[in-house]
């Protein structure tokens, strides 16, 4: 046997109050998990930004490292080429040194000048003059060899200085490369710290989100039940209002009938009607005439 409407409404209101309390509790719990999840995600975003900054600095350094490495390798290649040139010069000097005159360039030039002066200023027999010209040629050959040796020695000194400069250049590039690589490694290690922290925070954020989802899932059937109870309560309240309206209408009709009967009795007795009695009686007669017309 079903409960009377009023009792059922009270029962529904009680159940709705309990459901609302439970939903509020779950909503609060869900909000706490969501706030925890959001706080962790915000921290992860901050850490990711920090890691990205370190990565950008590391990558910039790595570009510079690559550039310096290319400069170092170019200096080393240039030095190797210069060393090959030095070896070639030394080989030429070695062959020429075997023909190097024992006399100095100055002595040879003086001797050539002296013989040429003798040839130009002295009348000599043809054979003797020819011998002197041959001596000049031999001395000039020796002088040419000595001068060539001196030029090669000067070139060798210049090449050796350039080779040393290239060696220093390559060494400085290598030292800078080592410093840059160390700085790059430092930024890489700094980048790994927030990334490692992100890895440790992700499970916590995922757990908080899972808790939030689970609670939201719990609230779905409660919301559905609450909607069902609200619909039932609304339907019962409408029925109660309709019953009450019908009851009041019936009561008004009864009162109106009583007034009509009293008014008719007063008319029979020849008494005067008051304004309310007159209006109700007039209205009642019009209603009856309308009903009669409709029936005809």
What residues contact 107, with CB distance under 8 A and at least 6 apart?
A: none
Q: Structural domain of residue 46, as residue ranges? A: 5-99+164-246
pTM score, whole prediction? 0.58
Could you give the CA distance from residue 33 to residue 209 in angstroms, rounded to a whole number? 7
The residue to which tokens 């109106």 are assigned: 256
pLDDT at 184: 93
Residue 253's Cβ-count burial label (10 Å; 0-12, 13-18, 19+) is: exposed
288 and 218 in a common domain: no
pLDDT at 36: 95
Query: CA nearest 284: which of 259, 267, 248, 265?
Result: 259
Q: How many angstroms from the chain centroid is the CA of residue 29?
A: 32
The full length of the chain comes to: 296
Residue 268 lies inside a defined structural domain of this protein: yes
Q: How many domains is the chain partitioned into structurally?
A: 2
Query: Is the Cβ–Cβ distance between 33 and 215 less than 8 Å?
Result: yes
pLDDT at 291: 38
Among 205, 228, 246, identify where a domain stops: 246
Q: Provide the CATH number for the domain around residue 195.
A: 1.10.287
Residue 144 lies inside a defined structural domain of this protein: no
Residue 9 lies inside a defined structural domain of this protein: yes
pLDDT at 289: 41
Note down pLDDT in tens along the chain; length 296 residues.
Answer: 456 878 888 888 899 899 999 999 999 999 999 999 999 999 999 999 999 999 999 999 999 999 999 999 999 999 999 999 999 998 888 887 777 777 787 888 888 888 888 888 888 788 888 888 888 888 888 888 888 888 888 999 999 999 999 999 999 999 999 999 999 999 999 999 999 999 999 999 999 999 999 999 999 999 999 999 899 889 888 988 888 888 888 888 888 788 778 878 877 887 777 787 777 777 765 444 433 433 44
Query: Is the Cβ–Cβ distance between 204 and 32 less than 8 Å?
Result: no
pLDDT at 74: 95
13 and 88 in a common domain: yes
Residue 15 lies inside a defined structural domain of this protein: yes
Residue 195 lies inside a defined structural domain of this protein: yes
280 and 242 in a common domain: no
pLDDT at 287: 40
pLDDT digits (tens, 9 = 90+) for 245-272: 888 888 888 887 887 788 788 778 877 7
Residue 208 lies inside a defined structural domain of this protein: yes
Name the phi and psi angles at 271, rounded to 5: -85, 155
pLDDT at 293: 39
276 and 237 in a common domain: no
């Amino acid at each position: 046997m079903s409960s009377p409407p009023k009792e059922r409404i009270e029962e529904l209101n009680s159940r709705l109050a309990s459901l609302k309390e439970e939903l509020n509790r779950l909503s609060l719990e869900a909000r706490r998990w969501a706030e925890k999840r959001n706080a962790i995600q915000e921290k992860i975003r901050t850490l990711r930004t920090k890691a990205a900054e370190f990565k950008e600095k590391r990558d910039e350094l790595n570009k510079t490292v690559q550039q310096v490495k290319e400069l170092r390798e170019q200096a080393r290649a240039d030095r190797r080429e210069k060393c090959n040139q030095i070896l070639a010069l030394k080989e030429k000097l070695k062959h020429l040194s075997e023909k190097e005159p024992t006399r100095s360039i100055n002595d040879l030039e003086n001797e050539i000048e002296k013989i040429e002066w003798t040839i130009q200023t002295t009348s000599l027999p043809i054979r003797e003059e020819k011998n002197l010209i041959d001596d000049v040629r031999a001395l000039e050959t020796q002088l040419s060899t000595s001068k060539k040796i001196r030029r090669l020695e000067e070139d060798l000194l210049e090449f050796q200085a350039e080779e040393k400069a290239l060696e220093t250049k390559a060494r400085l590039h290598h030292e800078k490369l080592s410093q840059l690589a160390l700085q790059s490694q430092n930024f890489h290690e700094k980048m790994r710290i927030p990334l490692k922290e992100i890895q440790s925070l992700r499970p916590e954020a995922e757990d908080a989100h899972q808790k939030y989802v689970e609670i939201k899932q719990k609230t779905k059937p409660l919301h559905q039940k609450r909607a069902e109870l609200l619909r039932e309560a609304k339907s019962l309240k409408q029925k109660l209002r309709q019953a009450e309206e019908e009851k009041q209408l019936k009561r008004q009709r009864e009162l109106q009938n009583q007034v009509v009967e009293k008014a008719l009795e007063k008319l029979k007795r020849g008494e005067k009607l008051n304004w309310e009695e007159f209006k109700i009686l007039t209205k009642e007669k019009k209603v009856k005439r309308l009903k009669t017309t409709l029936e005809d």
